[in-house]
């Protein structure tokens, strides 16, 4: 299965991501645990693209591409922003960052996906989930 959708940078459009993950779940017969991981990590990636990458500029878009084979789900989220230093995101679990809301999305994606990579200066994130 391969599918690509493009949404405007509006937080209301995250509902399209929920529908997309529901389609993936139905197609792949995901366990509830894997479904939750895919849903939360993908929503975090799209939310970050809308808020941080595209700065809530509704004239900009976020592209979400899904590729599924027998054992893997690859989800690519691409925004039109300049990117970010993904190697220097503060750890939200450290005491000095507990009150800071920034950095939680990347932390969640790293902990929920089986693999994560950033490209194009961080304006593209690839989430990989292994189907067991």
Q: What percent of the chain has pLDDT over 90?
A: 82
Average pLDDT value for the chain: 94
Domain boundaries, the chain: 2-130
Identify the H or E element spanning 50: none
Cα angle at 57 between 53 and 58, to 5 degrees?
120
Task: Region of 89 please: left (phi>0), alpha (psi -120 to 50) or beta.
Answer: beta
Whole-number pLDDT of residue 95: 82
Residue 27 in contact with residue 1, Cβ under 8 Å?
Answer: yes
Task: For domain 2-130, give the fold.
Answer: Heat Shock Protein 90 (3.30.565)
What digits encode the pLDDT tens for the residues 72-118? 999 999 999 999 988 888 787 888 877 777 778 899 999 999 999 99
State the virtual CA torsion across 87, 90, 93, 97 in degrees, nearest 10. 180
């Amino acid at each position: 299965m391969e599918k690509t959708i493009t949404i405007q940078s509006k937080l209301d459009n995250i509902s399209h991501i929920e529908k997309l993950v529901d389609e993936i779940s139905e197609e792949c017969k995901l366990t509830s645990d894997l479904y939750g991981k895919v849903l939360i990590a993908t929503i975090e990636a799209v939310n970050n693209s809308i808020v941080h990458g595209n700065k809530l500029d509704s004239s900009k878009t976020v592209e979400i591409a899904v590729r599924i084979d027998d054992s893997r789900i690859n989800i690519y989220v691409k925004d039109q922003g300049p990117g970010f230093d993904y190697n220097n995101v503060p750890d939200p679990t450290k005491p000095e960052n507990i009150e800071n809301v920034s950095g939680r999305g990347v932390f969640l994606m790293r902990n929920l996906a089986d693999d994560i990579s950033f490209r194009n200066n961080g304006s593209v994130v690839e989430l990989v989930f292994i189907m067991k």
